[in-house]
Amino acid sequence: MTIARSVLERMDVAGTDITTLALDAIVNAANEGLTDGAGVCGAIHRAAGPRLLERCLKLRGCPTGEARITEGYNLLAGYVIHAVGPVWRGGNDDEDALLASCYRRALGLAAAHGLGHIAFPAISTGNFGFPAERAAKIAMRTVADFLSENATPARVTFCAYGPSSMAILKGALAALTQGEMQDAETEKRPD
C-alpha cells in the first residue's frame, strides 16, 4: 500500500524523554500486569506517581498485542496508553503480528478518545529484546497504515531514548518516505 505524503507529514521522530511531553497522550511500553517495570515503563510510572499503578492494578492486566488507557496523573500528558508488546522469542512466535497489533490498539484508543497528538517509545526493544530495526519498520508501517485510514490522531511522535534509537527510528521513517517516493515515481512512468 502506498503511503500518502500527507500521512507521512503527520509522523516524526524526537530525541526526548517521553515522560516530559505535554501531549494528549504518551504510550507506555507496558508489561501484561500493567505494573511498574524497568525501562520506559518504570520511568512513566515514576513520573506519573502512585495513582497510575493503583489504576493499572484495577484494570487487571492486558494481554500481549493489546492496549489500555488511563489518565496521566502527574505527567504533562493527559493520558497514558499502555501497549503490551511481545517478548522476542526468535521471531517464530507471532512477535511481528503482536507488535503491530499493540500499535494498532494504542492508535485505536487514541482515535476513540479524540486524542490529537500521541507519542510512542520503541515498544518491545528494551528488556523484551525485540530487534530494534525490525521493530522500527513494523511500528512505522503500522502507524502509517492506521493514519492513512483515520484522521485521529492528527500527529504521532516516536521518541528515541539515545543516539542509536534515534538513528534506527529516523532510518525506518526515511525508508517509508523513500518507499512512498519510489511508488510515486513508478506511477508517473508510462508503460
pTM, 2 dp: 0.92
pLDDT tens for the chain, 191 residues long, are: 578 999 999 999 999 999 999 999 999 999 999 999 889 999 999 999 999 999 999 999 999 999 999 999 999 999 999 999 999 999 999 999 999 999 999 999 999 999 999 999 999 999 999 999 999 999 999 999 999 999 999 999 999 989 999 999 999 999 988 875 444 344 444 44
pLDDT score, position 179:
72
Which H or E run includes 155?
Answer: strand 155-159
Residue 121 near residue 27 (C-beta atoms within 8 A): yes
Going along the chain from its start, the domains and CATH numbers come out as: 5-179 (3.40.220.10)
Measured CA to CA, the distance from residue 164 to residue 22 in angstroms comes to: 24
